[in-house]
Structure 1
């Protein structure tokens, strides 16, 4: 039974995620699609439970009147059938409806509903632009994802569960009181109006504080995660105290919002309790006065006071539920600011997959300025022939890495176009584009998974034999055999830590090279690919890298010019422009910028600028 209800709502919908709306209602509606049927059934069950519960008070009043007006000898004969019907409702109908309501809430919705939201939000965010992740804490983004998914669930379910129950219950209460005497209903109406006034005053204030609290919570988490992520830097510079102060500032900002929220809650709680006491006094006094005047029966007095006592407890519950509702609304609205953002680098509608037949690359008068309007790259053109191997040379800031990032379409061009085998990369899907490009970067980051998972990331369907061959060619087999982690996993099963922190820079680099060797893409980019390797390992791996380059179009960036001097063509960049082009020998003979850089090298490393070199 449990499993059947658990399988009614798909937690991982396969539909491609779309940009979510930026308004509260539309945002919640967007992430509730597919779950409405079960939420509607829950709402019907909740309303039915409220009707049955409030009906019990009417039955209680009837029973009191029957007991006072019948003799013991004839009571069961006169009222037995009615009592049997009440018993059937109490023993069968009410438990059955509550069971169905509980199964839908706990088995179908509470787990699957927020998981759907997490899945859809994650799939949308994972395809966000590089700029999005560069502008946000990773911990802050993940916290908002988790907070918002739960907050959407609570917002929708409380609106349709709690408010539905309250409206039906209060309506039933007024009807029962009015059935006894309209004057008995009057205190309930006044109480309801004052209660609504309290909600209208306090809840928006709680909502505003909750929105600020959600933002402060995600910032607090982001700061702490940032310290943990960069723990090596923290320890290297002995800045534990500084990080404590940085984290404390975030914690204090969060605590300030908590104090503001709790002041409002205390004020609300006291006002509500005082109002409930006045309601009990008023209903009790009016009921006794009406009974003394023979206007109502003893049963009506019992029902009126019973309803007040029930409302006393219910109003406390409603207060917390409404506070939680608007706290969750604040959390959703805060999450919308981070989640409902357009993708800065979207795929074109129905974008086809890139087909690489030769590997020709053309930069056609491209311009890109990181939105600054000038600088970086302007009207740059470059043709790379199929299978050609070029090296990009230039000082830091010359535009080499930007050129590579544009080829990978981490950013969209501001002018011009980039073609691969005649196909504009802005018109094809990004996944297919990057699937045809292998890249080894200077800053190698590994996933906090096993060595095997990291190597197979280049080609998940590769065989064990293919993986082992790539690892051997990358000179990584020996140190992998000796790896172990805190849980006793060894070799390829050992986990490498966050960003590969448990490995040395050279070990991370060799795993990254093995990963690209396994991927075997037709276009290869190497950005300081051997920078973290010592000379012996670099020499051992160099032949394998040259073999990897065979038949591929290669773009290599290196400050150590000796590693790229043998490539087919060298492109010298300066301030986003191509200033020289040719083979190593041609550029040396030209006695230009490249020749000057080569002459100034110490150990094959590119100097920063002329003034520093002269010093």
Structure 2
């Protein structure tokens, strides 16, 4: 329970950080709500009680109505004008505050997700993170509206009732406040008992969103393998869990509602006795009797909304809990305080004494142990080896998509851990094995690394990547929307757009991770020529399984189990007859001659 409460307090912390940026709006909202409640709910009955007492005191002649009741009429008009003004101000500040704070909360969540490490995202459903962000924002809106009604009006009701009735009927006011305190205490205790149910319900909803996202994202695999029924089974299981947890929350809330309703009946019974005998026992005037009933009825009616309000608060904190936990997670890869921008003039790369391992739960998987590799500026280096040898991991460490545990990675003598991640990655053009495209136009995707590029420059990059012909054949050309993750294009087309993006970025360091793996032989030959031109004068790291893509490079490094097994030019390694030669022979068919 302590952990649950801590998560609730952390959610409040993030909500308050965003709210205090707009403190003026928040104060205006509270003040207008108090004014609205005070003027219309308590001011009007109070003046009416004075009118009733005046009528009860002595008859008023027809020609004296405005003389006698003029001040009361003026007071009622002023009270209603002020109350309506507060009501409109309340509407404005509530909407304005919700809009402003939700903008800040969305920005906070987006920044957090974008700045988290790659391992963070690899262990989570993308759809779940999107759902948690939406619920985090919705939670604030619900919390603010619940504060605005019913809880702030309830506090106002208690305060105004005490101020007005306590001097007139102190015994009644005391008894009423005592019963209301019992009501509030019972509601709160029952609220604490079901707090965890809302977080479990929110967790089930997030899991449901994740299952839906996973199936939709991989819909091609679902359909081509005929697994619609299987995915529906997974979704149905998650959906039934949502129903079960929501039902449990509903039953607990209804039980709380029945209990508090019984207390309300007791309160109104006591009120009826006091009102009936008020004049006989305490000499209470008719106007005061009206005040007692009106104010008590108002308070108890508003207290009826405590259950609904607490349920909404429960749901709000439950919805916020997922993103709150994400916001509280430490960044596995973070800039050091005072990190400076990376400045690259040559492009030397040095891996010195690298120790790196993955941790999955309690299992530690060592990838590199005292690994050393030096790449002089302008050298084109191929990384080859069996799957799991550490080729792609090495490029991710260079890009600081994960942090090493020991050692250092230097670019032009600057430790990448001491520079800003943004400046590091803007100096490295990276083309991954699976092309990463946005649901935007082809032109926007190509210019992603250099958004200020002209259309002529975008076109030239596409031509150099052997992509211009198929792009211009599309009905909308460069304005064609690629679809989510580039789904509207073939694998080879997506890869060529990614290569065009790297060409346009024109970075001093180039990293190609199986960049030509999705190309047919004819396209590969054309792109290889373009890549050769792109590599000229740049430090290049090329990860490849197809050795034909690295045979012409200056140097080839063969990795095996996170260590360098061989290192040298293609011809030298083939002549040596080691691991590289065996791989080369298998791929070229030369092994049959051995």
Deviations 1:425-481 (A, max 9, x none): 110111111101112222112111111111111210101100000111111122222
Q: 2:547 aligns with which of 552, 556, 561?
A: 561
- Greater shift in the superposed pair: 223-232 or 56-65: 56-65
Partner of 2:82: 93
Q: TM-score, normalised by structure 1?
A: 0.90
- Greater shift in the superposed pair: 330-339 or 550-559: 330-339
Partner of 2:112: 124
TM-superposed deviation, 1:66: 1.6
Q: 1:546 aligns with which of 532, 545, 551?
A: 532
- Supply the distance in 2 between the matched residues of 1:404 and 1:544 (Cα, whole angstroms): 22
Residue 495 in structure 1 maps to residue 472 in structure 2: no
Alignment of 1:72-111 (within 5 A): 72-73=60-61, 74-90=64-80, 92-106=81-95, 108-111=96-99
TM-superposed deviation, 1:512: 0.7
Residue 251 in structure 1 maps to residue 239 in structure 2: yes
- Supply the distance in 2 between the matched residues of 1:84 and 1:154 (Cα, whole angstroms): 38
- Supply the distance in 2 between the matched residues of 1:69 and 1:375 (Cα, whole angstroms): 93
Residue 514 in structure 1 maps to residue 503 in structure 2: no
Whether the 8 Å contact between 1:369 and 1:375 is mirrored in structure 2 is yes
Whether the 8 Å contact between 2:187 and 2:260 is mirrored in structure 1 is no
Whether the 8 Å contact between 2:129 and 2:323 is mirrored in structure 1 is no
- Supply the distance in 1 between the matched residues of 2:211 and 2:328 (Cα, whole angstroms): 23
Partner of 2:256: 268
TM-superposed deviation, 1:500: 0.9
Deviations 1:374-423 (A, max 9, x none): 63111111111111001111111111111111111111111111111111
- Supply the distance in 2 between the matched residues of 1:78 and 1:374 (Cα, whole angstroms): 90
Q: 1:424 aligns with which of 412, 415, 420?
A: 415
Task: Look up the SS of the partner of 2:418 in the other structure.
Answer: coil
Whether the 8 Å contact between 1:22 and 1:340 is mirrored in structure 2 is no
- Supply the distance in 2 between the matched residues of 1:591 and 1:135 (Cα, whole angstroms): 41
Q: Cα RMSD between the aligned structures?
A: 2.2
Task: Look up the SS of the partner of 1:529 in the other structure.
Answer: coil
Deviations 1:568-608 (A, max 9, x none): 0111111110111111111112111111211122479xx9x
TM-superposed deviation, 1:253: 1.2
Task: Look up the SS of the partner of 2:197 in the other structure.
Answer: helix
Partner of 1:207: 195
- Supply the distance in 2 between the matched residues of 1:196 and 1:22 (Cα, whole angstroms): 21
TM-superposed deviation, 1:297: 1.3
Whether the 8 Å contact between 1:39 and 1:157 is mirrored in structure 2 is no
Partner of 1:386: 377
Whether the 8 Å contact between 2:8 and 2:321 is mirrored in structure 1 is no
Partner of 1:591: 577
- Supply the distance in 1 between the matched residues of 2:365 and 2:297 (Cα, whole angstroms): 72
Whether the 8 Å contact between 1:367 and 1:414 is mirrored in structure 2 is yes
Residue 354 in structure 1 maps to residue 342 in structure 2: yes
Partner of 1:17: none
Whether the 8 Å contact between 2:52 and 2:286 is mirrored in structure 1 is yes
- Supply the distance in 2 between the matched residues of 1:498 and 1:458 (Cα, whole angstroms): 19
Whether the 8 Å contact between 2:431 and 2:499 is mirrored in structure 1 is yes
Alpha-carbon spacing, 1:599–1:115, altered in 2? closer, same or farther (3 Å): same
Q: 1:112 aligns with which of 100, 105, 110?
A: 100
Partner of 2:4: none
Q: TM-score, normalised by structure 2?
A: 0.93
Task: Look up the SS of the partner of 1:180 in the other structure.
Answer: coil
- Greater shift in the superposed pair: 255-264 or 307-316: 307-316
Q: 2:44 aligns with which of 40, 44, 56?
A: 56
Task: Look up the SS of the partner of 1:369 in the other structure.
Answer: strand
- Supply the distance in 2 between the matched residues of 1:329 and 1:375 (Cα, whole angstroms): 40
- Supply the distance in 1 between the matched residues of 2:450 and 2:275 (Cα, whole angstroms): 79
Q: 1:35 aligns with which of 16, 22, 32?
A: 22
Alignment of 1:567-606 (within 5 A): 567-602=553-588
TM-superposed deviation, 1:159: 4.1
Partner of 2:182: 194
TM-superposed deviation, 1:270: 2.6
Partner of 2:215: 227
Alpha-carbon spacing, 1:232–1:374, altered in 2? closer, same or farther (3 Å): closer
- Supply the distance in 2 between the matched residues of 1:520 and 1:552 (Cα, whole angstroms): 9
- Supply the distance in 2 between the matched residues of 1:556 and 1:354 (Cα, whole angstroms): 22
Task: Look up the SS of the partner of 2:497 in the other structure.
Answer: helix
- Supply the distance in 2 between the matched residues of 1:256 and 1:115 (Cα, whole angstroms): 33
Partner of 1:409: 400
Alpha-carbon spacing, 1:196–1:603, altered in 2? closer, same or farther (3 Å): farther
Aligned length: 581
TM-superposed deviation, 1:65: 1.4
TM-superposed deviation, 1:258: 0.9
Whether the 8 Å contact between 2:51 and 2:69 is mirrored in structure 1 is no
Whether the 8 Å contact between 1:439 and 1:524 is mirrored in structure 2 is yes
Whether the 8 Å contact between 2:11 and 2:321 is mirrored in structure 1 is yes
More helix by share: 2
Partner of 2:158: 170
Task: Look up the SS of the partner of 2:166 in the other structure.
Answer: helix
Moved over 6 A (4+): none
TM-superposed deviation, 1:552: 0.7
TM-superposed deviation, 1:227: 0.6
- Supply the distance in 2 between the matched residues of 1:188 and 1:572 (Cα, whole angstroms): 83
- Supply the distance in 2 between the matched residues of 1:185 and 1:33 (Cα, whole angstroms): 36
Deviations 1:348-383 (A, max 9, x none): 112111111011111112111114656311111111
Alpha-carbon spacing, 1:392–1:61, altered in 2? closer, same or farther (3 Å): same
Alpha-carbon spacing, 1:293–1:585, altered in 2? closer, same or farther (3 Å): closer
Whether the 8 Å contact between 2:466 and 2:523 is mirrored in structure 1 is yes
- Supply the distance in 1 between the matched residues of 2:162 and 2:507 (Cα, whole angstroms): 73
Whether the 8 Å contact between 1:21 and 1:27 is mirrored in structure 2 is no
Task: Look up the SS of the partner of 1:466 in the other structure.
Answer: helix
Q: 2:450 aligns with which of 459, 469, 472?
A: 459
- Supply the distance in 1 between the matched residues of 2:195 and 2:553 (Cα, whole angstroms): 63
- Supply the distance in 2 between the matched residues of 1:75 and 1:115 (Cα, whole angstroms): 55
